[in-house]
Amino acid sequence: MCVGVPAKVVEKNEFMAVVDVMGSTTNVGIIFVPEVQTGDFVIVHAGQAMSIIDEEFAMESVEEWRKLADARTP
């Protein structure tokens, strides 16, 4: 199973972008979404932005990721 995480594009270069993933920044490839713009939200998997998503979906996804990150096993 593959899992992608939502991220906000904070800087765009020719083939790469800096994205914010829940407060951490990282570089990702944008070859699959060359039309992406600063401020857009994307799904990131394996170091690549795979698709552009809307902000509402991104925020809902971040909330679910936070729940997973905060979960504790007994």
pLDDT of residue 61: 87
55/39 Cα distance (integer angstroms)? 10
pLDDT of residue 21: 92
First to last CA, the chain: 25
Consecutive H or E run containing 68: helix 55-70
pLDDT of residue 4: 85
Which domains, from first to last, does the chain contain? 7-70 (2.30.30.140)
pLDDT of residue 73: 59
pLDDT of residue 68: 80
45/37 Cα distance (integer angstroms)? 18
Residue 48 tokens read as 């690549």
pLDDT of residue 69: 77
Q: What is the mean pLDDT of each run of 10 residues along the chain (74 residues)?
A: 86 96 95 97 96 93 83 65
| Residue carrying structure tokens 């007994």 | 74
Residue 56 tokens read as 């509402």
